[in-house]
Chains A and B, each alone.
Chain A
Amino acid sequence: METTKDFFDTWIKSQERIVDNLTESRKKIQQALWGLGSNGEGMSGFGDFQNIYSSWTNAVMNALRDTGTVDINVIRETLSKTLSGSNAYLKLYEIWLPLVKAIREKTVSPDAYKDLTDPVKHKEMLDRLFGFDPDAVSQAASQARKFLETFTGSVQQFMKPWAAASEKSSKTFPTLVEGHPESLMKIFHDMFEAFDSTIGRIFHVPAIGKDREKIELLLRGIDDLSVYLAKNIEYQNMMYATGLGAFEKVVESAAEKIKSGEESITFDEFFDLWVKVNEKTYYALFQTEDFSKMQGELLEASLNVRKHFFKLMELYLYDFPIALRSEMDDLYKTVYEMKKRVKGLEKRLGEVKREVTI
């Protein structure tokens, strides 16, 4: 079978790359083992050791990418999630490494955990876990800008400062991770200043006839997008802060175990502890009314963006010879009502027939 052959060709090549990586990494691992603790140089060996996974996982995913059938999809999805799970496992390992170094040098203490934690890596892991996409907001802003550009060339540069502010905002998240809530206010300040100096101007533009509706809808959509962005920042901040709190508990717990005389905990044990503590900490957050409300507001904000986007699409597509969403909704409604009526009549007919027979 051609697909199978292709798969194994790719597979073999990936195995060759793994061997190359292993050979190279082994040298560095040996250096790491000898040199660790003196100047930290040895740590780089571990980074390369882990590259074995990335080259190998990429190869596997490429090999599986174009193989059809439903079950293959399940296998592919599962493999993807397994690799993603393993990546998170290894990401935790990367966070664990500086801790390991401190353990080696006997300088670790739960109070110093912040110095041992790379907030960017921690954020990456949480982004992966909760599906946060830092690029999504700037992409949405960019899409809105393109809409406006398509609409009229005279406002081509209109959205750029706002989009730039959005992009800048999304990059401020690592600062939030480090526990500076005041940066949240800075984000809003930057964003709304940009918003006011760009979008605000349009309110001074004279009415422009039938296209005014489109402009107003677009502005409403942008307004919704800014509400969504603000909610999203609040939500993510809540999640990151909880994640950091959980990690502090993990380090404390690990340190306690060792202080109490247990043998050094293995990375697997550390991983299990990390999962357990995080689940418990996040569960406590998820149970609160505040979280439930925040989640509800975030969902509503995202739905508003989507709803206005669809309306806008309809306005732009109205003159084209295609069925629009709202028109299809009407059609579905008519079909639904007719089917219900026919089913009711058929049922009644059956009952009448039975009555006549009796």
Chain B
Amino acid sequence: MKSPFETFNMKNYLKELSEVNTKLIKGTETLVGIDEIDVGTAPKELVYKEDKLTLYHYTQEGKVTCNVPVLIVYALVNRQYMLDLQPDRSIVRNLLQHGLDLYIIDWGYPTKADMYLTLDDYIDGYLNNCVDVIREKTGNDKITLMGICQGGTFCGIYSALYPEKVKNLVTLVAPFDFSTNDGLLFSWAKNMNVNALVDTYRVIPGDFLNAGFLMLMPFTLNIGKYVDMLDVTQEKESLLNFLRMEKWIFDSPGQAGECLRQFIRDCYQGNKLVKGELKVGERLVDLKNITMPLLNIYASADHLVPPAATRPLNNLVGSTDKSLYEFKGGHIGVFVGSKSQKELAPAISTWLHERGNEEPVKKNP
């Protein structure tokens, strides 16, 4: 056995430091050579606009092979282009290639003028209007809702309120049972005075939420990630992908105060959705009203929305056709990981094709 630290070599330490410097210099050269960080590049057209919200229809360059249109509903936190972050790892492009007819909601950036928007306004107002626009445009009585994260919770609530308008429900990493303390956000939110937060800020700054997300893994997200980045800075495409992710992470819209107040108080703190006590507007939300086919996707290593919060949905709905899909990875991996492209997107497509309408497949619009 060697004596402790006998093999220490000072030259190695100098070499390591020197390498960091070299990487930093070369990385900065690559950084300043990047003109544009393009995200959300899949072609789409605007089909509806209301206040800050925009509804887009993705251009299907091939043939639509599943005749039930799909509305993608992202969370109010962060931006929906996560699903089309980089062209070679885009869930949107992947689903389009599988013949799906896709729509997506961009919630926009709330300002203080939006501070009074409630959960009811987002779900029974904006979301309901978007669903109606698509139903009218496509001639379908029912459409598929595909909700992501908080957007999945919204879709679940909406499907319970309007089951007659929803053909299939797909939820991805969406929280429903908030009683768990598995995820730090779930534990922290329970001791947060949300009334003081909303009454003080009105519209909660995106930076405030980001600070919370960074605290989940402070050393990795504040230091380790950037030190690791130095290893890829000489490859422009890898660096560009890193920057795309950075752009998305810190592109955080503020949160309309009243909506956030209700979401934290009633869901995170009161767990009312599971208890059947959540009220949206004047209506009680009963998850048993969800009777359409359900595909509930969770990520086994999700540190933001732990499986304990997502999995219980299948036991709470009234659907008989319900599937639980385990994605082996983390929250973000669901959207941009290679497994997401190779396994998850095809699985969603297959599941939806099997539950399409019986009418003839529509032609490309």
A304 interfacial contact with B, CB 8 Å: yes
A residues 79-132 near B (Cβ < 8 Å) are 79, 81-86, 88-90, 93, 100, 103-104, 106, 108, 129-131
Q: What's the nearest-Cβ distance from chain B to residue A254, in Å?
A: 9
- Which residues of chain A are within 8 angstroms of B133 by Cβ–Cβ distance? none
A residues 44-61 near B (Cβ < 8 Å) are 49-50, 52-53, 56-57, 60
CB pair A106–B5 under 8 Å, yes or no, is yes
Number of inter-chain CB pairs below 8 Å:
195
CB pair B220–A343 under 8 Å, yes or no, is no
Assess A287 versus B184: contact at CB under 8 Å? Given A74-B37, A77-B246, A79-B28.
Answer: yes
- Which residues of chain B are within 8 angstroms of A93 by Cβ–Cβ distance? 17
Q: What's the nearest-Cβ distance from chain B to residue A347, in Å?
A: 9
What CA separation (Å) do A108 and B8 show in the bound complex? Answer: 12
CB pair B8–A100 under 8 Å, yes or no, is yes
Interface magnitude class on chain B: 35 or more
Query: Interface centre among B10, B37, B216, B250, by most A CB within 10 Å?
Result: B10
CB pair A286–B215 under 8 Å, yes or no, is yes
CB pair A275–B219 under 8 Å, yes or no, is yes
Closest to B215 in A: A286
Write out, one digit per residue, whether chain A residues 259-299 have a CB within 8 A of any chain B CB (1) or not (0). Answer: 11101101110011011001100110011010011011101
A residues 24-70 near B (Cβ < 8 Å) are 29, 32-33, 36, 49-50, 52-53, 56-57, 60, 64
Closest to A7 in B: B32
Interface of B, helix, strand, loop or mixed by DSSP: helix
Which of A33, A90, A104, A306 is the one whose CB lies under 8 Å from B200?
A306
Write out, one digit per residue, whether chain B residues 133-161 have a CB within 8 A of any chain A CB (1) or not (0). Answer: 00000000000000000000000000000
Interface magnitude class on chain A: 35 or more
What CA separation (Å) do A197 and B217 show in the bound complex? Answer: 43
Q: What's the nearest-Cβ distance from chain B to residue A43, in Å?
A: 11
Closest to B125 in A: A343
Interface of A, helix, strand, loop or mixed by DSSP: helix
B229 interfacial contact with A, CB 8 Å: yes
CB pair B250–A85 under 8 Å, yes or no, is no
Q: What's the nearest-Cβ distance from chain B to residue A333, in Å?
A: 6
What CA separation (Å) do A268 and B36 show in the bound complex? Answer: 32
CB pair B243–A74 under 8 Å, yes or no, is yes
What CA separation (Å) do A104 and B250 show in the bound complex? Answer: 44
Kindly list 12 other residue pairs between chains A and B, CB separation below 8 angstroms, not including A75-B34, A84-B223, A292-B188. A32-B10, A77-B246, A78-B31, A79-B31, A82-B229, A85-B223, A264-B9, A279-B217, A328-B112, A329-B115, A329-B202, A336-B116
A-B contact pairs, 5 of them (CB 8 A): A88-B222, A100-B13, A106-B3, A286-B215, A303-B196
